[in-house]
C-alpha cells in the first residue's frame, strides 16, 4: 500500500476469534479500545500498571494479567496505549514485554510519543524479529468508544496491511509514511488542536469581556469560515465551564513539547507552537494539569481577571 492511502474493511472481513491480541495500557483510551476488540471477537489479553482498570475487561471475556510479559507471550499482535515514550520503552524493554513476544509478532504502538522514540523502538524490536507500526490516534474517548478514531500509521506497508483488521475496529486508518511518520502526523494533529483551542478561548473571552453573550457568539459564527470541530465541542465546554477531562491539559502540553523537540531535531522553526507550549505550561503550573485541554480557557480568563 502506498503512503497516504486509506483502506476500509467491512465487518464480514473481520474474523478475530483465532487472533490473540494483547493490550498494554487500559486507561481512558485503552479501556474502550480493548472493549471494542472483545466485542469484535478477538481473544484479548490485557495488562495495566493499576490492575483494577484492566480487571473491568474480564467480564467481557478478556484474560487479565499481572505482568506485561505474561500478557504478550502468545499474542499475534500487541497494542500499547501508554502515557509517553519513556513508559513505552520501560514496559517493552525493562519489564520484559519485548523479549516475551513471539518472533514474527507485530507491535502496534498507539501511544503518542516522539518520532525519534518510535524509530528507536522499531530498531530494537527488529533485532528481536518483531515487526512494528507506530499508529497514534485522534478522536478522544468518544471516538474510542464509537470506533471513530482517526489513526495515523507509520511503518512498512506490509505491517500496515497486517494491522488493518485490528485497526478497523477502532476507526479509519491512513498509512502516512515510514516508521515515525504516524507520530509526526499526531504531532501535527496536536499542534492544530492545541493552537485552535487557544484561538477559540481567546476569541470567546474577548467577546465576553466586551459585553457580548459568549454562547450567542458561538452560535453566530457556527457555519462560517471560523467554524470547526474545536469550536463546536471545546467551545461548548467553554460556554458551560465544563472542563472534566477528555484529553488533559498535561497531555496537551506533553504533545506540544514533543512537537518542539522534534522541530528542533530537524531544524524547523515553529514560533506559533512555541507560544502555545508556553501558555499550556503556565496553565499547568497554575494547577490546571488535570482539566480538559479546553481548560486553557481558564488560564486565559484568569489573565484577564475573568475567573
For the annotated catalytic residues, the residue numbers are 186
**In Å, how far are 80, 194, 253, 258, 282 from 275, measured between CA atoms?**
31, 11, 12, 14, 11
Q: Which helix (H) or strand (E) holds 177?
A: strand 171-177
For 39, what's the count of Cα atoms within 13 Å in the CB-facing half-sphere? Answer: 12
In 3D space, the residue among 189, 210, 215, 194 whose CA is nearest the CA of residue 278 turns out to be 194
Backbone phi and psi for residue 45, each to the nearest 5 degrees, phi listed first: -115, 130
CB 185 within 8 A of CB 133: no
Question: Which residues pair with residue 174 across a beta bridge?
Answer: 6, 152
Name the one residue in this structure whose C-alpha cell is 492544530: 192
Give the torsion through C-alpha atoms of 235, 143, 190, 167, to 10 deg: -170
Closest to 141 measured CA to CA, from 34, 298, 287: 34
Torsion angles phi and psi, residue 137, rounded to 5: -130, 160
Amino acid at each position: 500500500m502506498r503512503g497516504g492511502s486509506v483502506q476500509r474493511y467491512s465487518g464480514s472481513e473481520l474474523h478475530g476469534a483465532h487472533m490473540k491480541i494483547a493490550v498494554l495500557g487500559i486507561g481512558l483510551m485503552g479501556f474502550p479500545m480493548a472493549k471494542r476488540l472483545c466485542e469484535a471477537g478477538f481473544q484479548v489479553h490485557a495488562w495495566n500498571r493499576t490492575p483494577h482498570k484492566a480487571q473491568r475487561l474480564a467480564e467481557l471475556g478478556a484474560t487479565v494479567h499481572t505482568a506485561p510479559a505474561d500478557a504478550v507471550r502468545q499474542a499475534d499482535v500487541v497494542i500499547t496505549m501508554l502515557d509517553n515514550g519513556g513508559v513505552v520503552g520501560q514496559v517493552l524493554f525493562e519489564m520484559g514485554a519485548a523479549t516475551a513476544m513471539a518472533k514474527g509478532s507485530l507491535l502496534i504502538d498507539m501511544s503518542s510519543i516522539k518520532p525519534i522514540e518510535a524509530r528507536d523502538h522499531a530498531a530494537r524490536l527488529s533485532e528481536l524479529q518483531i515487526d512494528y507500526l507506530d499508529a497514534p490516534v485522534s478522536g478522544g474517548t468518544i471516538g474510542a468508544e464509537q470506533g471513530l478514531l482517526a489513526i495515523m500509521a507509520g511503518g512498512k506497508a506490509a505491517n500496515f496491511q497486517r494491522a488493518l483488521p485490528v485497526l478497523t475496529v477502532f476507526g479509519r486508518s491512513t498509512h502516512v509514511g515510514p516508521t515515525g511518520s504516524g507520530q509526526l502526523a499526531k504531532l501535527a494533529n496536536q499542534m492544530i488542536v492545541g493552537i485552535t483551542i487557544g484561538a477559540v478561548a481567546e476569541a470567546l473571552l474577548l467577546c465576553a469581556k466586551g459585553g457580548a453573550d459568549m454562547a450567542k457568539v458561538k452560535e453566530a459564527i457556527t457555519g462560517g469560515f471560523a467554524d470547526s470541530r474545536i469550536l463546536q465541542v471545546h467551545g461548548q465546554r467553554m460556554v458551560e465551564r465544563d472542563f472534566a477531562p477528555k484529553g488533559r491539559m498535561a497531555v496537551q502540553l506533553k504533545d506540544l513539547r514533543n512537537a518542539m523537540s522534534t522541530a528542533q531535531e530537524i531544524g524547523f522553526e515553529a514560533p506559533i507552537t512555541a507560544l502555545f507550549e508556553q501558555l499550556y505550561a503556565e496553565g499547568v503550573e497554575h494547577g490546571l494539569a488535570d482539566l480538559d485541554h479546553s481548560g486553557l480557557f481558564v488560564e486565559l480568563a484568569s489573565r484577564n481577571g475573568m475567573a
